[in-house]
Amino acid sequence: VRTLEILPGEVVFIDQTALPAVERYVHCHTWQEVAGCIADMTVRGAPAIGVAAAGGLALAAATAAAGGADSAGFEAEMERAAEGLLATRPTAVNLRWAVEQMRAAWRACSGAPGDCAQRLLARAHAILDDDIERCLRIGAHGAPLFAPGARILTHCNAGALATAGYGTALGVIRSAAAMHAGISVLVDETRPWLQGARLTAWELAVEGIPYHVISDNMAGHFFSCGEIDAVVVGADRIAVNGDTANKIGTYTVSVLAKEHGVPFYVAAPLSTVDLSLASGAGIPIEERDPAEVTSFHGHQVAPVGAAARHPAFDVTPAANVTAIITEAGVLRPPFAPALVGVCGAAEGCRS
């Protein structure tokens, strides 16, 4: 599934708010439009919003260069765009990682703004291509962890839609299904945004991988009946000790998995690792509009005016994580030395 494209003068997203009912594409021509698409979740998923931000910065560079900015004006405009993009969503560190990659590129560019804009477009393309490569490697490392016939539970959407392509957790499931017969998936619907029911189910249907959607409160039942062999989820930020922020509800699933002795895998590229945070306590948790909780896919279900809370992510403690599947291999506890080791070798993490 081609979910995101960076073109000269244009960044194109499949509209994830409209899927699966409508398959339409949104064309952004300014960094402000890209920021709007990240904030309103037209594009979502940690790696995808990082790649989107890189595309947004390429647009900012092209606009500044076309407007005749001198070097100082160009840099000022790039900083303004970077801050605007960073302000959209706080939890996924991939967004910050990608902005920092682009910032390093414009600071290293001593040419005219037009040349720097070209280089930044090339850098954004490289970040996109690199994300797909990372996901393919995550899939290859993760697939052997599963046995033929494995019944896998996943939460939210960590598929092609959430990345530049292929996916992290769903990429592992794709690779496992290609390697083994009989892989099937239980898909948590993932209230309130329904990323599981709308997006993961859509991707699995396209791939022809057998699945059942369940409402989030059914997961415990299926664990207790022995119908789940493994869990694999994506991540928005992993602290150096292995504590992992992911979509709200992931923590609950991890507790169930631990209680039932089921392996709980996190699949993520190293651009999701934040070496600057000792533990998950430092991860900022996005609070979204409570109206998204009091309604169901746009339809009001709670009394009008009902008070509600809406943390969009939670933190799964490292103690509940069996392994972290990265492009550099499968990491086991204790995670701190393992993460520091692969981050140092790959220079792919935020430090």
Pick from 88, 101, 118, 168 the residue near ligand MRU by CB under 6 A: 168
- Residues binding ligand MRU: number (CB under 6 A): 18
* Complex with ligand MRU: residue 92 or 204, whichever CB lies closer: 92
What distance in Å separates the CA atoms of residue 34 and residue 27, rounded to the nearest whole number? 9
Roughly what angle, to the nearest 10 degrees, separates helices 113-142 and 169-179? 50
> Could you confirm whether 236 is annotated as catalytic?
yes
Does residue 195 belong to the site contacting ligand MRU (CB under 6 A)? Answer: yes
- Footprint (CB under 6 A) of ligand MRU, residues 204-243: 234-236
Other beta carbons less than 10 A from residue 341's beta carbon: 13
- Looking at beta carbons, which pairs linking 286-291 to residues 24 or more positions away fall under 8 Å? 286/89, 286/90, 286/91, 286/311, 286/312, 286/313, 287/311, 287/312, 288/312
The DSSP bridge partners found for residue 186 are 153, 212
- Footprint (CB under 6 A) of ligand MRU, residues 45-64: 45-47
- Least distance in angstroms from the C-beta of 50 to ligand MRU: 10
Of the ranges 66-74, 157-165, 209-217, 330-338, which one interacts with ligand MRU (CB under 6 A)? Answer: 157-165
Pick from 37, 64, 95, 158 the residue near ligand MRU by CB under 6 A: 158
Q: Helix (H) and strand (E) counts for the chain?
A: 11, 16
Does residue 154 belong to the site contacting ligand MRU (CB under 6 A)? Answer: no
Does residue 134 belong to the site contacting ligand MRU (CB under 6 A)? Answer: no
What distance in Å separates the CA atoms of residue 4 and residue 161, rounded to the nearest whole number? 8
Please report, for residues 8, 26, 182, 183, 336, the alpha-carbon distance to residue 207 in angstroms, rounded to integers and kept in the order given: 31, 24, 14, 12, 35
- Least distance in angstroms from the C-beta of 48 to ligand MRU: 7
Residues that bind ligand MRU (CB under 6 A): 44-47, 92, 156, 158, 162-163, 168, 193, 195, 234-236, 246-247, 312
